Structure 1
Amino acid sequence: MSSEKLIPDRPSQLYDQIKEALIFKFGDELDVKGYEDVSPEIDKSTFLIEFERGTGHELNHKGQYGHCYFVAVHVLISNGHKRAALAAMNVCADVERLVHYNSFGIDTDSINKPEDVTSEPSMFSKGEGGYEGWTVSWKQTLYLGETEEEEPRQGIRWAINPQNDEDPGEYHPIPD
């Protein structure tokens, strides 16, 4: 993963960063796909990344608009793996830590700490389709776009009972 932190301007960049983090952490051990790529036959243990829904969120302290997404990573382990359900649970624990430490390479001003991180057997459990599944899910607030530039400060000025607080002409430099 790149050491430069991303300032995202599209929600899909969070998806890309999650995918990159999973590949970095697990290498070629598991495939990483979008939830829409699920098929009845998965030939290799797989992560499925799903964005379930999103809601608007207030601006952050730097003026970026927030979007809160409900994200899930489904871990599907082939039934050919010994103790596949336990292996899926173990991998979910690793994914939880990745989520907890917000290890997605996104600038910390552009992403909040994840909330409500949970893991549980998924709808892909019970061995149907030839694999066992567990899911890690969480809420993730992402702030998109560039930050608002702060106005440059040009010293300290003061006024006593100004008629108009917003009029810079009513303020005077503090005498030395």
Structure 2
Amino acid sequence: MSLDIDKPSRLLFAIAEALRSAGLGLKVGGRQDFDGTFDQAWILIAIERNAPGERANDGRIAHVLTLSLQVIVSPTLDNPGLAACDLAAVLKGWVTDNRWGLSGSQCDLPMNIDALPSTLISGSQEYLAWTLSFTQTIYLGALLLDDPLGIPKFARTWEVSNIDDPDQYTELEG
């Protein structure tokens, strides 16, 4: 059963929950959660951007989110930068084609998946890391095809002054 989402942060929480339950042995959180302990590797999740996109076929507003998963491993490893690179590669394969348990009508597949070396500075400590970034479009808001009674409606762009105004839509003829 997929979850309905009503705000962009729900995608972030769905990704975090999916990563925690994936059995990869990772600590998952935001940058504020990082405490510098390394009994497991860290994945720090953030929404970096919320750009516009094309509305869904049902009229929901598109939010093209740019997300980042920063991979941080113990600095005591022989080569922490390469270890983070390897873990980012595993995550890249896992992110591909993942909707995180969300409905396909509200969440597209990830796109533009890319991984780059990065650095995390926490206090006076610097950590070698890798950041996996991708875009994922989610669709939020009311369905413009339905009014509260569920009557299908439509509008022609050349006949209305504002296609985003549901009051300018008219009932479909049955």
**TM-score, normalised by the number of residues in structure 1:** 0.73
User: For residue 53 of structure 2, what is the aligned residue in structure 1?
Assistant: 57
Query: How far, CA to CA, are the matches of 1:167 and 1:36 in structure 2?
Result: 50
| Displacement after TM superposition at 1:103 (Å) | 4.1
Q: Does 1:67 align with 2:91?
A: no
Query: How far, CA to CA, are the matches of 1:151 and 1:70 in structure 2?
Result: 35
Deviations 1:96-122 (A, max 9, x none): 122211241111111122221100101
Deviations 1:37-86 (A, max 9, x none): 34xx5112211101112122231012211111111000000112343222
CA contact 2:56–2:62 (8 Å) conserved in 1: yes
Q: Does 1:10 align with 2:2?
A: no
Query: How far, CA to CA, are the matches of 1:114 and 1:133 in structure 2?
Result: 22
When residues 83 and 55 of structure 1 are mapped into structure 2, their CA distance, relative to the original with a 3 A threshold, is same
Query: How far, CA to CA, are the matches of 2:172 and 2:33 in structure 1?
Result: 58
Greater RCO (Cα-Cα under 8 Å, separation 6 or more): 1
Query: How far, CA to CA, are the matches of 1:66 and 1:106 in structure 2?
Result: 15
Give the unaligned 5+ runs of structure 2.
153-170
| Displacement after TM superposition at 1:10 (Å) | 1.1
How many residue pairs match? The answer is 148
RMSD after superposition: 2.6
Q: Which amino acid aligns with 1:24?
A: S
When residues 124 and 167 of structure 1 are mapped into structure 2, their CA distance, relative to the original with a 3 A threshold, is closer
Residue in structure 2 matching 1:42, options 36, 39, 42? 36
Runs of 4+ in 1 over 3 A off after TM superposition: 145-152
Q: Does 1:90 align with 2:51?
A: no
- Give the secondary structure class of the aligned counterpart of 2:134: strand
Larger radius of gyration: 1
Query: How far, CA to CA, are the matches of 1:104 and 1:15 in structure 2?
Result: 10
- Give the secondary structure class of the aligned counterpart of 2:22: helix
CA contact 1:53–1:70 (8 Å) conserved in 2: yes
Q: Which amino acid aligns with 2:139?
A: Y
Q: Percent identity?
A: 29
User: For residue 24 of structure 1, what is the aligned residue in structure 2?
Assistant: 21
CA contact 2:46–2:68 (8 Å) conserved in 1: yes
Q: Which amino acid aligns with 2:57?
A: H
